[in-house]
A and B are shown apart, each in its own frame.
Chain A
Amino acid sequence: MFSPPTPERWRSSSSRLIGLYALLFIAWGAVFTGVLYWEISHYLGTIAQRTLMQRAHYYQKVEDADLEGELASSEVYSIPEIDAYGLFKADGQHISGDILKLRASLPDDGRVHYLERGLSVALPNEQTRSSHALLQHRNDGRILILARDGGSISAVGGIIEQALLWGLSLTLVPGLIGWQLLRRRPLRRVKLLQRCTESIVSGNLGERLPLSPRHDELDMLANAVNIMLTHIEQLMHDVKGVCDSIAHDLRTPLTRLRAHLYQLQQLPFEGAHAVTVSQALDESESIMARFQGLLRISELEDTRRRSAFETFRPAELLQQAHEFFEPLAQEHGQTLTLEIPDELSTLCGDVSLLFEALVNLLDNAIKFTPTAGEIRLRGILTGTAVILEVIDNGPGIPEADQESVTRRLFRGDTTRQQPGHGLGLSLVAAIARLHGYTLSIQAPPNSCGTSVSIRCPRPEMG
């Protein structure tokens, strides 16, 4: 029975969509923030440069003697912790201003430079984060440094970063909740569809996939499958109709043929004629055996046969089959052993059909195992199932044929010389299918021969 594994949470298509959406959102958010940050810092940088240039230009015109006073008075208008200056003697000794140390590396080219490493300032943090700075050599040899804190740009970056984090978390939390809700509903429906499909596969061809009133994509798909099922059901019905009429139309002529041949056999023929009639009668028997076999398989594929299901003890069935075949095996010089555990739980099924299946398996085993061979009839109890198994140490079924042996009328190259119609295993397969049991054919581990097993799930295990 097919049952694809339940997808992991993240594997559902809505999860993938939401995941993809989240990725796109994060990428978009990052690009947006990046551009915003770059634009703002660029803008703030330009302003800082212009302001510094303006101040430098103003102090250029101030007399050296008035410079100190001018600087102190203009301090009033500057923004504390943002704007700063430092006046130094030619030897680098600090004269006034918040900037305490002369940065010698700052070139005197009348232009504003961006310093990654902050300048030493008096207060409050001793060192700024980064700054725009300009160095001016006065005519009297003193050096003036004007600076504007670049930290404000970083602060803007920080604000944007925080905004982004808040935005993301506010989007992700409801997103995750939505994902849970969105994921569950389609999954519930898919599980329902899966259950329906399993039921259809097990033979209830009349069943249809359920449709919801929403008319969404799943409904479109289910509807398409339903239309297909109707067609398949119609076709199968037609095929069955044709088969049934062929069967019905052939039964009477076959009965007649046999009757005619039998009448002929009663006539006083001699020699070759008698042999020919006898051969014709044998052939007609063989046709009828195949015909009955084919009809029986078709009949089994009709699920109505479930009406004969009852609870039974597989141990008793195995014992009966063993007792039935033991004399035949003995006649062939083979040993047929029965291995059943003390306790083999009950099963639900059609005892007559299962006995027929065992008869076919044991008959095959005895037919294809050489003299002095060993055949084992086993009942195995596992956690969820009872396994009925026939193992022989005959020549085995070639691996290439293992799939085909359950096909109707299939006869392997090695078995063509043996009597039979090639219907036994397909009958067993049909019986297993009817019960929902699994038939498997393989070589027994570590030895030659064939192991055919029917895995019967225990009813109480669901």
Chain B
Amino acid sequence: MNCALVIEDDEVTAQAIMTELIGHGFTVQWADNGRDGLAMAIAGGYDAITLDRMLPDFDGLTIVSTLRSLGIQTPVLMISALSDVDERVRGLRSGGDDYLTKPFSTIEMVARLEVLLRRPALGASSHRLSFGELHLDLIEHTLARGEEQIPLLPTEFKLLTYLMRNAGQLVTRTMLFQEVWGYHFDPGTNIIDVHIGRLRKKIEGDGSPFIHTVRGAGYVLATDA
């Protein structure tokens, strides 16, 4: 079972985060100020940390840069009321692994945290990704379903790579937009759905669906719903 540390000074927000995390099978601990949060994070034993950017006592940036300077590599999801792009860059530069702006949906938060948790395992990834009968060659940029080669457009290839890397894991539309197109704003339309729809048609054929829609949240690549 994964253990998460929630460093957040607002109780209601913290409760919402914790409820969602517990719902996803996490055990959770909460620190309501920067000083305690830093001490707990250093003491260790957590698989992931959600960190508010603005906190009493210690600032979120100070906490994450202190952790990194101490060699603690626990994945940190920074949550901030500051949505400025410069703020995002600052947060990520000081050692944060991902950055989420308030107000956020807790589903998005958990999805991001779970993706962060999988990251170390993906570090030593091979040149090939497989999911069921789908085989993706990351060097040749080819996709095979069983014996059949399926031609993909570059965008579709990127989409499928991200989904396959995070197979079984919820990925939100904003996460896909960020990963595949490289932009950090909300495109605000159902356009991601359309791209996913195209990809689905190509990879699923007449068989059972691989990419499942999670209503109001995003997509999961899974063999069953």
Contacts and interface: CB of A to CB of B under 8 A. Distances in A.
User: Do A and B actually bind?
Assistant: yes
Interface of A: 247-248, 251-252, 254-256, 258-260, 262-263, 266, 288-289, 291-292, 295-296, 299, 302, 304-305, 307-308, 320, 323-325, 327-328, 331, 352, 355-356, 359, 363
B103 interface: yes
A356 B183 contact: yes
A73 to B, nearest CB: 116
B23 to A, nearest CB: 8
B189 interface: yes
Given A247-B81, A259-B13, A327-B194, 9 more contacts: A252-B81, A252-B103, A255-B102, A259-B16, A288-B103, A295-B83, A320-B181, A324-B181, A363-B187
Nearest to B187: A359
For chain B, the bracket of interface size reads: 20 to 34
B85 interface: yes
B194 A328 contact: yes
Main secondary structure of the interface of A (DSSP, over half): helix
Interface of B: 10, 12-13, 15-16, 19, 23, 81, 83-86, 101-106, 153, 155, 181, 183-191, 194-195, 197-198
Contacts of B83: 292, 295-296, 299
Contacts of B194: 327-328, 331
A262 B181 CA distance: 29
A307 to B, nearest CB: 6
Nearest to B85: A308
Most buried by A among B10, B184, B194: B194
A296 B186 CA distance: 11
Given A252-B102, A288-B103, A324-B191, A305 B85 contact: yes
Contacts of B12: 252, 255-256, 259-260
A301 to B, nearest CB: 12
A263 B16 contact: yes
Given A299-B84, A307-B86, A327 B188 contact: no
A400 B186 CA distance: 30
Contacts of B188: 289, 359, 363
Contacts of A266: 23
B103 A255 contact: yes
Given A308-B86, A327-B198, A256 B13 contact: yes
Contacts of A289: 186, 188
Nearest to A363: B189
A278 to B, nearest CB: 9
A262 B101 CA distance: 18
A299 B185 CA distance: 13
Nearest to B183: A352
11 contacts: A255-B12, A255-B16, A258-B105, A259-B106, A262-B16, A295-B83, A327-B195, A328-B191, A331-B197, A356-B185, A359-B189
A288 B174 CA distance: 15
A63 to B, nearest CB: 124
Contacts of A331: 194, 197
Given A308-B86, A327-B198, A356-B185, A255 B13 contact: yes
B191 A251 contact: no
B19 A323 contact: no
Contacts of B13: 252, 255-256, 259
Contacts of A305: 84-86
A248 B86 contact: no
Contacts of B195: 327
- Top 4 nearest A-B pairs (CB, nearest first) are A259-B16, A255-B103, A256-B12, A254-B103
Nearest to A250: B103
A258 B189 contact: no
A352 B85 contact: yes
A165 B65 CA distance: 87
Contact of A352 (B15, B104, B185): B185
A212 B13 CA distance: 57
A355 B16 contact: no
B86 to A, nearest CB: 6
A295 B105 CA distance: 17
Nearest to A249: B81
Given A256-B16, A263-B16, A363-B188, A251 B103 contact: yes
Contacts of A304: 84, 86
Nearest to A331: B194
A143 B184 CA distance: 120
Nearest to B54: A248
A259 B183 contact: no
Contacts of B23: 266
Given A299-B83, A304-B86, A355-B183, A251 B16 contact: no
